[in-house]
Copies of this chain bind each other. A is one copy, B any other.
Amino acid sequence: MAERVAFIGLGVMGGPIAGHLARAGHQVTVYNRTASKAARWVEQYGGSTAQTPAAAAAGAVAVFVCVGNDDDVRAVTTAPTGALAEMRRGAVLVDHTTTSATLARELAAAGRARGVGFVDAPVSGGQPGAEQGTLTVMCGGEPDDYARAEPLLRCYARMVKRLGPAGSGQLAKMVNQICIAGLVEGLAEALHFAKQAGLDPADVIEVISKGAAQSWQMENRHRQMLEGRYDFGFAVDWMRKDLGILLDEARRNGAHLPVTALVDQFYAEVQALGGGRWDTSSLMARLEALKKTRSGRRS
């Protein structure tokens, strides 16, 4: 059934996600902080643009948000010209931004006060997942709100699941990022060791990638790590944002994350090397840079 929906934030993730909604036949009104981007999106996919998030949200059964961080989300939702000002009762607000769980609970409460549902719905799968419509969506919210959002999420997701009340989607995304931090550092240290030991690291990966050391990161990142190529993927600046949020959450819930906290500091060193826009696998670049510094001292 074609629905009237609004989409706020047409970046590398939001743009293609909104495109899938339009292609599925929904009537999409878009808003983007840089208006020219919204105009270009409408040229490509149809639909219409609005001057404010509130204007985009008026009359929509679902409003999607996909922006940068907690403050960006507030600016397009609870601010005076934000979506909540114009959302009708019974509509649902879906936030694809990776934010704190605290913000998700805040938005759920703000929605509830206006008779509007809320689902926090951070994604994984990156830009290729957004473009191909194969994202994973981790959801938090009331079962009724989730049930209304789910058929729309299926337009661009391979895996959609509700994990609990508002905030649960964000917390699940944090679990994902914690896995990745330790895993990528382990892989980087392993490849760095292989090079220092004089092995052919690609041969070694061929042998060990069938067993207990196997990972998606090993399969999909080892080549670029060995080439020192990081101009793609999920940027270190964004990873540091996510790690900041989750370390803060861990301080509240009492989880002990020694390696995750250490890897966050390593990513700060990657940023210092100029790698803020590099893929998260660039932890390898940090280890290799240390090597260069040592060689430099010797000569």
Contact = CB atoms under 8 A, between A and B. Distances in A.
B256 A287 contact: yes
Main secondary structure of the interface of A (DSSP, over half): helix
Given A159-B207, A253-B193, A256-B287, A199 B213 contact: no
Interface stretch (A16-24, A41-49, A91-99, A172-180): A172-180
Given A163-B199, A175-B199, A179-B218, A256 B192 contact: yes
Interface stretch (A52-60, A108-116, A223-231, A257-265): A257-265
Contact of A258 (B177, B190, B212, B262): B262
Contact of A189 (B192, B234, B257): B257
- The copy count of this chain in the complex is 2
Contacts of A193: 174-175, 178, 246, 249-250, 253, 255, 257
A164 interface: yes
Contacts of A257: 189, 192-193
A11 interface: no
B254 A161 contact: no
B158 A255 contact: no
Contact of A198 (B164, B199, B212): B164
A136 B207 contact: yes
A263 B217 CA distance: 20
Listed from nearest, the 7 A-B pairs whose CB atoms lie closest are A182-B186, A179-B213, A215-B215, A178-B190, A196-B255, A214-B216, A193-B255
25 contacts: A124-B211, A124-B212, A138-B204, A138-B207, A159-B210, A161-B203, A164-B200, A172-B194, A174-B197, A175-B194, A175-B201, A178-B189, A179-B186, A183-B186, A185-B186, A189-B255, A192-B257, A193-B249, A196-B255, A211-B216, A214-B216, A215-B217, A255-B287, A256-B291, A258-B266
Given A176-B211, A189-B258, 13 more contacts: A163-B199, A172-B199, A174-B197, A175-B193, A175-B194, A179-B186, A181-B186, A182-B190, A186-B259, A192-B255, A192-B256, A192-B257, A197-B255
